[in-house]
Amino acid sequence: MVQSSLLEPLPSRKRVSVLLPLPFPCALDYAVPQSLADSLAPGDVVVVPLGGRRETGVVWEQTVLPVDLAPPPPPEIAASRLRPIKERLDLPPLSAELRQFIDWVAAYTLAPPGMVLAMALRSHLRGEQTAAAVGWVRIGEPPESLRMTPARRAVLDALPQGAAPVTMAELTEKAGVGVSVVRGLADAGVLKSMLMGPVSPFAEPDPFHNPPVLEGDQATAATELRARVDERAFSATLLEGVTGSGKTEIYLEAVAECLAQGRQALVLLPEIALSAQWMDRFARRFGVRPAVWHSEIGQKARRLTWAACEDGSAKVIVGARSALFMSFRDLGLVIVDEEHEAVFKQEEGVTYNARDMAVVRARLAKAPIVLASATPSLETLNNVETGRYRHLVLTARHGGAAMPETHLIDMRENPPPRGLFLSPVLVEAVKTRLGRGEQAMLFLNRRGYAPLTLCRTCGHRMECPHCTSWLVEHRKKHVLACHYCEHTEPVPHACPTCGAEDSLTAIGPGIERITEEARSEFPDARIMVMASDTISGPAATAEAVGKISRREVDLIIGTQIVAKGWHFPHLTLVGVVDADLGLGGADLRAGERTMQLLHQVAGRAGRAEAPGEVLLQSFTPEHPVMQALVSGDFAAFMAEEADQRKPGFWPPFGRLAALIVSSENADAADNAARQLGVSAPHGNGIEVLGPVPAPIAVLRGRHRRRLLLRTHRNIAVQPILRRWLGQVTFTSTVRVDVDVDPISFM
């Protein structure tokens, strides 16, 4: 690994590479003006000319990547054609570690490195607008070896020891010198830049504030994780345990150890906006709330958080995927909670899996990473199996709470009345719980009233004009909505095809329809509906959760947001309306995902003294997923999954990369896909499936075709993809998206 020290400027260079946050294939070369010749260092934020514009970028330097990942070197440009850097901005430089991480993610995902940089810079650059983002202070006397020029003397006189920080502009004006003099003194260890602005709003979490009492395998696991943190070296550990076994409690012990060392910890949660209870929990343990990072925190909080993370004053950052691209002063621990969650995969822009890239980041930071889950992904289990990851297991729920009993309702034997969706068995069970003053939950992972609207006269189906999808009726809003794009339209009175009036019928249930049914079955119950479109944002979620905890709600009806790690002590019954829902389709992980989701939903029941029960409505009760949910034997289920994937070299026993070809013009998409098909790579352990129309063949008006590259595990897909894509030229209307390790096959 090439490490460039931030303190040592490059030996008087005439040219440097600058990475711009733009979709170019590589960094661009620029000439270094005389004024910066002795002080410019990799990581510095600079302004450069690009065409007629000014762009902000970062001085880059080739990092050493694994052979398979390394992109080909860019073409040399003659020195005479280079344009000079305009200026260096007064911002903290990007650390070598973060720069290497950016290169790594770009190389792995085949995204333009500038687009990965853009994710890291998004907040960094905002600091620019606050004039006094960085201040300079004196930290020492000049060493003997430093030649004391009049200019340097003037700076030292202007900034005595102990003086308050001043900006670069103030300092250079007061001393009557150029920027490079100040930089030179900083490089010699006499001055130092620091972030100014308001005092950090992030109080330090206290690792000794309120530690839990740990016994048995909790104690063992906590000791192990503390030891990993103490090693100050990379390691990866799977922390596995049923819901309620204390995984969170235990990984917070690792955070405590990291805090005791004065280092920083990064915790990635799958749905940060839904994590109000988690934040409270953290505050109970450490006395203060952590710094939070996700797309919905405001501009100002963003800037402060970024700066506090950069200067090390924010000790614990809890964030969504994007927190991976923050700049840490001293990262000592990474946690990924619910590591199996598909939301860690970003599907737009740079397509990356935050769980996997978190492992890379931890490795580069020489820090341990902990992956926590009740139902770990097959990928992670395989990494345990092959010895790459360590494994800690918590076997029982804390405090002796029992795991809920899971039972199947065979919908063929106990069907609901015509036009309804709740089996009499489920209705009775809910009534019993409500009668005892306990809470119940109905889960259906589908928003809206009905997923399909059909004309009874001619059979016409209401479809999205821009996508290959049915429109979902949202009865409360009186619209039909596409769940793949923003299209909505009023529910028509007459069939648009045959003109028949009052002939359109809602087919199948969404949670609005289940709510309607529940209101008539349980007229006295206080019902709360929880879906991403009825409860949006952290505040509304926290309020809803508060109501449930205070028992102001009897029956909760929700989509997958109710599955998140909520602790509802009075909830004793979970009814899953359609347990088979996720099992259709072409997704190789359909079984695994359904099992994970339903187990997580089930885990909401019986978290306190009263035992919980889970009822699964299914038309395929013999399915291995249903059987695993009843028996609770996930290890056996996952072993079977593994056996099914092994022979075909499906992940994690082989590697996948998808190419999604799309165009507004169907023929253009077909042509491009065909060309890719013709030049598809082949060889031992290399195979290409497709091209085929994507399951969502039209999305937002773009026609989509898919190709899937599958290789044996010991063959990296990146060089193959680079060569393949390099052979084909596409017309400008065609876009090819690369998805390495795809988890969506739509």
Which residues make up the interface to ligand ADP (CB under 6 A)? 212-214, 218, 241, 243-249, 398, 567
Shortest approach of Zn ion to residue 739 CB, angstroms? 20
309 is in an annotated binding site: no
Cα–Cα distance, 146 to 140 (Å, whole number): 13
User: Are 738 and 721 within 8 A, CB to CB?
Assistant: yes
* Residue 247 binding target from Zn ion, ligand ADP, none, CB below 5 to 8 Å by type: ligand ADP
Shortest approach of ligand ADP to residue 267 CB, angstroms? 12
How many residues are there in the chain? 746
Cα–Cα distance, 656 to 475 (Å, whole number): 41
* Residue 623 binding target from Zn ion, ligand ADP, none, CB below 5 to 8 Å by type: none
The answer to whether the Cα torsion of 149, 152, 158, 160 is positive or negative is negative
* Choice between 22 and 746, CB closer to Zn ion: 746
Return the axis-axis angle of helices 634-645 and 590-602, rounded to nearest 10°.
170
Structure tokens at 548: 């449930």
* Residue 464 binding target from ligand ADP, Zn ion, none, CB below 5 to 8 Å by type: Zn ion
Q: Which residues pair with 135 in a beta bridge?
A: 194
Q: Which of 31, 485, 721, 725 binds Zn ion (CB under 5 A)?
A: 485
User: Under the criterion CB under 5 A, does residue 487 sit at the interface with Zn ion?
Assistant: yes
Amino acid at 237: T
Shortest approach of ligand ADP to residue 297 CB, angstroms? 24
Cα–Cα distance, 440 to 404 (Å, whole number): 13
482 is in an annotated binding site: yes
Shortest approach of ligand ADP to residue 337 CB, angstroms? 8
Q: Which of 122, 281, 466, 713 binds Zn ion (CB under 5 A)?
A: 466
Which region among 198-206, 410-418, 464-472, 660-668 touches Zn ion (by CB under 5 A)? 464-472
User: Under the criterion CB under 5 A, does residue 464 sit at the interface with Zn ion?
Assistant: yes
User: Under the criterion CB under 5 A, does residue 372 sit at the interface with Zn ion?
Assistant: no
Non-local (6+) Cβ contacts of 313 within 8 A are: 200, 202
Shortest approach of Zn ion to residue 474 CB, angstroms? 14
Cα–Cα distance, 552 to 458 (Å, whole number): 46
258 is in an annotated binding site: no
Cα–Cα distance, 127 to 120 (Å, whole number): 13
User: Under the criterion CB under 5 A, does residue 467 sit at the interface with Zn ion?
Assistant: yes
Cα–Cα distance, 187 to 9 (Å, whole number): 7
Q: Which of 239, 364, 471, 482 binds Zn ion (CB under 5 A)?
A: 482
Cα–Cα distance, 479 to 477 (Å, whole number): 5
Shortest approach of ligand ADP to residue 277 CB, angstroms? 9
Cα–Cα distance, 741 to 717 (Å, whole number): 9
* Residue 485 binding target from ligand ADP, Zn ion, none, CB below 5 to 8 Å by type: Zn ion
Cα–Cα distance, 307 to 296 (Å, whole number): 17
* Choice between 243 and 439, CB closer to ligand ADP: 243
* Residue 245 binding target from ligand ADP, Zn ion, none, CB below 5 to 8 Å by type: ligand ADP
Which position has the token pair 């500038």? 114
> According to DSSP H, which parts of 612-744 are helical?
624-631, 634-645, 666-678, 717-727
* Residue 218 binding target from ligand ADP, Zn ion, none, CB below 5 to 8 Å by type: ligand ADP
Cα–Cα distance, 403 to 434 (Å, whole number): 20
* Residue 719 binding target from Zn ion, ligand ADP, none, CB below 5 to 8 Å by type: none
Binding residues for Zn(2+): 455, 458, 464, 467, 482, 485, 495, 498
Binding residues: 455, 458, 464, 467, 482, 485, 495, 498
Chain residues that interact with Zn ion, rule: CB under 5 A: 464, 466-467, 482, 484-485, 487
